[in-house]
Chains A and B, each alone.
Chain A
């Protein structure tokens, strides 16, 4: 074999050489498999070994490429391990990569040698480049060698608090690898999972939830605190992560919320009416009985997953669909229909899975898919399994109204060249006929016509289906039975013959002339029939013997004799049994008397139902659902709890309950809810406590002290703010900052933690304004930029959590208020009421976390408008402080009101309804990023100090935005925006640049 001098480019030749040697051996990864393999590879490997040991990188690279190609083809290259592992520390990145690939593949088999490489990875784990750290961890954790478990554990723990989210993501993956290698590490791994679950990076979320699902899916308590965060992050998580998170949250929600189906459960069966009526019913019931109130968190999940129905990734769409199916109130499930139907345009395999899910859904809820019935029409180019699924769905969708359309469509299918499919169609017709009594006769006639079809399978299937149909109403159809008897000679398919024979026997009294004749024919051909036909012949003979023994006695005995010596023991058995039963002799006991009642008992008609009937026991969209058996690792979806578990376990941050600020509740509303949530916030910020309910007890006394103090302060400030609104914002800031500063002194937590938590709470960003270098800048500004820019002209803008920055800074008044107002409601759409809004950039009077918005309302009609107020808004939507209702707005008059909206640091629009006495209009306020900031002043020194707190190497995953403007030359500046929120960054930058450019 001349493989020695083959170069890499000449791959074809070398491949064939190897294949010759390997063909005979199994492709297991066993090192010494087969002498033939070894001897041929021996030479080849020698050559590779030499190349690997040379000191030229290019030669080594060629060798590695050949080796990887071997692995890719499934050939064994494990003997080269020692030669390869030497190159693990190579400086050539490509070579190194290939060596990594090799290591991962063979380390398990060559454990001792693999250990040689470990130190290299340990070094790489400390590399400044995040990608190198990540890939080192990836390879290290992929080496399935039990000895290094402690090293892996350490590496994972370290990587879990790495600065780079990419590395943290890798560590989440490594958790699963380690768990499969050594399940004993579970407890430690759960700790890491718990830590990573708290991560706010969208990159990490999917991977860590995956790890959670694999390692500890039962530890639902780890999710509580992260539930809302996961819901909110969901849209920005990468597609694959979305699927995993949605599936997990579906399970979670089933354990934590009460069923939204109770009130419209009545309509479950009768889907059509349920679909349309439940809407009204629900609103009625909801108002009157207060029977069910959806948990806001439940609503949050539904709301945040809905946009994902528009994802390009079909797996995401189906996972959202199953979430709605399993969690949403029945009348809301309809939103998924359109998206599911859209997926039918996708690849064949996708269609297959989606159709299966639709098949299951359409059994319970016909109304959902009925409008899209035509999307399930079969094309001749569809694959067989797609065709049968579509048929299944069409059958489920059939009802009195559309049956004629469907039957017309079926007529086309019956003629299809694909006979398997035609047979399926006939079964489908049978199901329609039994389900919808109006068309039973039509269907039956159609099926009878098919009996003269030339194709055997079609005829056979028709016979079988007719048999079933006749059983449901046997009285009127002796004609059909006669017709079938005539056809009997031409039908060869055993199942069909057997069916006809059964029909003859069952209704032999209706066709007294024909049945004995058929039996006569059967007696002739008995020996050459299939077993199933023979059994039915025996049956027919027995029944005829009982009803018409005069004509058939001899025939029966002849057949029974034939059966007695049949090769098949079933038939011999049956024959013996029948003989004892019907032929009276001295041995046959009492049973003989009842022969007639046994054989000719009226039999219940078979129920034709869908094969998808019982699939709904599996969660939709799962593998188990597709294969209709429980796949390993399938997690059952639990039933709704009768009573919802404690909701407060999910409270992590102060979410000011909507009610508290609703004008109607006034002061009283604040008492209980706000207190408990305040408690929670402070206890959280000090330390992430597991239980978090009730008081801020335990852990260390210092934090307790500070939190209790903070609590009182907070309460004071909030009560003030609701009444004497003027001072409130600054007051509460001060109070919270005080409490925080105390915490800083007393507790020993790393500063990052503290900065993280309050951000979540204090929802408005601050822009501390630094005046130091600003002097120079101001010159620049005043020279080139007019005053209008002054808000942005300051050299460093950094939004910083209120409480940490508030130490020394003062909220400053806006330097510039844009006069631009935005349309809220146009007078055309508002039936004469027009509304415009603008951001006054004033601190909000009602609550520090709110942004104030001014709305000017104008009446352009010629009659006064009464009772203008804010109507319904989403209970879990953005927190808002409404204006008092305007009693009357005269024609041509206008009035300005102010509103407070807590935008949650997002650019999410605030949606609500603006109502007059007669009408209500849905409107929305879209915040610009810049409007969410609060201007503040601080010295440069303080600023640096605050900025420094963000720059720790360990992950600080607070939602921080850092805007830096660096002056290069007199006329050039560099703006850097550093934010984790990928949406915020570019938008803010865009706004800034536009503003600068305009100037």
Chain B
């Protein structure tokens, strides 16, 4: 299975290596670095590279490359999925996944990697199990540690059965028992020039933050489970009960986790919360162009659209831009030709508008295609599909937990072609 792991930063420096079987020289990374040189963007590096003796499977995430070395046949997704788990684990432990964080906690990351794989096969990947073996750092504890010289590794080994419920540790205690569920829906859409929907769908995810004592057994039901077309679950959810009764019955992991993701069957009848009027044009002669973008609310179900942001990758031949925004502010990076217009809250009475002139490099031909606009937005207290949580019941424990559900709609890959 997985032989070695290398962490590589965008400039090509290998700053961490871990081997689970015999040591593989880091010169194997040269093949990867070569491919990286060839690719224009870090995202374009092929995830699977075939070298004479090894296979390199890599992911690019949070500006870091996680590169694993494989020697024999293995499902590539197995490795990819695992690498993402490593990144998530680092994020979970240290708050973010970045080169600095890993360098600061080198020893701990190394120990974690040691626990996660045994002989290249995943051993403990559930964050709850890991946290029992290696405690995550907290500010308080790190102060105490420096003063007293004690450490993060639990000095009493966990005695709980690791087998019964792998994702939850035993003996959890909270003074305030609370369970929060965030229903987050993302609209993926492609709109064409005229504003017609080429493609739209809703993807949702139920994120949970459960801090309950003991071994609670929760049942979450929806008012309208028929909306859900396709779902995937955290391993704690009982498939059978979902199939027969359309309820989510589970013993939750402790803390934050993704309970389920779903796809809404809307047959293209997705409510698009905003409309975008745009015109980007370049004059045939002369090196000039105009840009005019207006964003307005469309089907918002009476809620306010917030955090609106428009991102445009302008053509490479643009020399400079001169724009004015009636609301919010815009930034433009001339190196990457990235224009970001941060609008903020959308006011239906006074629609935000960005207009001005673009100037091209002298002699450069008029760009063939107008750049597409990527829209970001979020709407609080609304699940655009209309999904509603009906109730949450708890069995197995006596106390009354505090329960809360929050709905948010966001733009996922929301693109307007021009």
Which A residues are closer than 8 A to B by beta carbons?
9, 26-29, 58, 61, 65, 68-69, 71-74, 92-94, 97-98, 101, 104-105, 108, 129-132, 138, 141-142, 144, 164-166, 169-170, 173-174, 176-177, 180, 201-203, 207, 210, 235, 238-240, 243, 247, 307, 310-315, 317-319, 338-339, 341-342, 345, 347-350, 352-354, 374-375, 377, 379-381, 383-385, 409, 412, 415-417, 453-455, 621-624, 626-627, 629, 631-635, 907-909, 924, 926, 980, 982-983, 985-987, 989-990, 993-994, 997
Residues on A with beta carbons closer than 8 Å to the beta carbon of B118: 138, 170, 173
Contact B48–A238 (Cβ < 8 Å): no
| Those 6 A-B pairs whose CB atoms lie nearest each other, nearest first | A633-B72, A94-B153, A415-B369, A58-B149, A307-B239, A315-B77
Question: How distant is A736 from chain B, measured CB to nearest CB, in Å?
Answer: 30
Residues on B with beta carbons closer than 8 Å to the beta carbon of A207: 121
Contact B110–A243 (Cβ < 8 Å): no
Residues on B with beta carbons closer than 8 Å to the beta carbon of A412: 192, 417
Contact A240–B111 (Cβ < 8 Å): no
Would you list 24 pairs from A and B whose C-beta atoms are within 8 A, ordered by A residue? A72-B110, A93-B153, A98-B111, A170-B118, A173-B121, A176-B121, A201-B163, A243-B75, A312-B233, A312-B261, A315-B77, A315-B80, A342-B263, A348-B43, A349-B80, A349-B83, A352-B46, A353-B48, A375-B201, A381-B415, A385-B46, A454-B368, A626-B76, A986-B396
Chain A CB within 8 A of B50 CB? yes
Contact A243–B368 (Cβ < 8 Å): no
Given A94-B151, A207-B121 in contact, is the A379-B190 Cβ separation under 8 Å? yes
Interface mask (B307-341 → A, CB under 8 Å = 1, otherwise 0)? 00000010110000000000000000000000000
Contact A101–B77 (Cβ < 8 Å): no
Residues on B with beta carbons closer than 8 Å to the beta carbon of A994: 395
Residues on B with beta carbons closer than 8 Å to the beta carbon of A170: 118
Residues on A with beta carbons closer than 8 Å to the beta carbon of B27: 26
Chain A CB within 8 A of B10 CB? no
Residues on B with beta carbons closer than 8 Å to the beta carbon of A621: 75-77
Q: A101-B111, A412-B417, A417-B315 are in contact. List 11 more A-B contacts (CB 8 A).
A: A174-B119, A203-B163, A240-B82, A315-B80, A347-B61, A347-B84, A454-B368, A623-B74, A633-B71, A986-B215, A989-B215
CB contact between B77 and one of A27, A314, A380, A632 (< 8 Å): that residue = A314
Of all chain A residues, the one with the shortest Cβ separation from B159 is: A129
Binds A, one of B13-21, B291-299, B355-363, B377-385: B13-21
CB contact between A342 and one of B107, B232, B316 (< 8 Å): that residue = B232
Residues on B with beta carbons closer than 8 Å to the beta carbon of A71: 110
Of all chain A residues, the one with the shortest Cβ separation from B120 is: A176
Question: How distant is B343 from chain A, measured CB to nearest CB, in Å?
Answer: 20
Contact B163–A29 (Cβ < 8 Å): no
Residues on A with beta carbons closer than 8 Å to the beta carbon of B203: 345
Residues on B with beta carbons closer than 8 Å to the beta carbon of A180: 21
Contact B75–A622 (Cβ < 8 Å): yes
Contact B157–A634 (Cβ < 8 Å): no
Residues on B with beta carbons closer than 8 Å to the beta carbon of A174: 119
**Complex alpha-carbon distance, A185 and B14, angstroms:** 37
Residues on B with beta carbons closer than 8 Å to the beta carbon of A312: 232-235, 258, 261
**Complex alpha-carbon distance, A243 and B73, angstroms:** 13
**Complex alpha-carbon distance, A354 and B230, angstroms:** 17
**Complex alpha-carbon distance, A361 and B16, angstroms:** 38
Contact B396–A993 (Cβ < 8 Å): yes
Chain A CB within 8 A of B238 CB? yes
**Complex alpha-carbon distance, A621 and B80, angstroms:** 12
Question: How distant is B247 from chain A, measured CB to nearest CB, in Å?
Answer: 12
Interface mask (B199-232 → A, CB under 8 Å = 1, otherwise 0)? 1010100000000000101000000000001111
**Complex alpha-carbon distance, A959 and B102, angstroms:** 44
Interface set, chain B 352-407, CB cutoff 8 A to A: 365, 367-369, 371-372, 374, 395-396, 398
Contact A347–B55 (Cβ < 8 Å): no
Chain A CB within 8 A of B349 CB? no
Question: How distant is A648 from chain B, measured CB to nearest CB, in Å?
Answer: 29
Given A73-B16, A173-B121, A454-B365 in contact, is the A338-B230 Cβ separation under 8 Å? yes
Contact B17–A74 (Cβ < 8 Å): yes
**Complex alpha-carbon distance, A74 and B13, angstroms:** 12
Given A131-B158, A173-B119, A990-B217 in contact, is the A61-B151 Cβ separation under 8 Å? yes
Of all chain A residues, the one with the shortest Cβ separation from B190 is: A377
CB contact between A350 and one of B1, B25, B40, B77 (< 8 Å): that residue = B77
**Complex alpha-carbon distance, A360 and B187, angstroms:** 29
Contact B232–A383 (Cβ < 8 Å): no
Contact A69–B106 (Cβ < 8 Å): yes
Residues on B with beta carbons closer than 8 Å to the beta carbon of A623: 48, 55, 70, 73-76
Given A312-B235, A416-B369, A993-B396 in contact, is the A348-B77 Cβ separation under 8 Å? no
**Complex alpha-carbon distance, A987 and B415, angstroms:** 47
Of all chain B residues, the one with the shortest Cβ separation from A339 is: B230
Residues on A with beta carbons closer than 8 Å to the beta carbon of B61: 347
Chain A CB within 8 A of B344 CB? no
Chain A CB within 8 A of B284 CB? no
Chain A CB within 8 A of B198 CB? yes
Given A132-B157, A621-B75, A989-B396 in contact, is the A176-B149 Cβ separation under 8 Å? no
Residues on A with beta carbons closer than 8 Å to the beta carbon of B123: 169, 173
Residues on B with beta carbons closer than 8 Å to the beta carbon of A627: 48, 50, 55
**Complex alpha-carbon distance, A969 and B51, angstroms:** 70
Residues on B with beta carbons closer than 8 Å to the beta carbon of A69: 106-107, 110
Contact A353–B76 (Cβ < 8 Å): yes
Of all chain A residues, the one with the shortest Cβ separation from B316 is: A417
CB contact between A380 and one of B55, B125, B235, B415 (< 8 Å): that residue = B415
Contact A909–B157 (Cβ < 8 Å): no
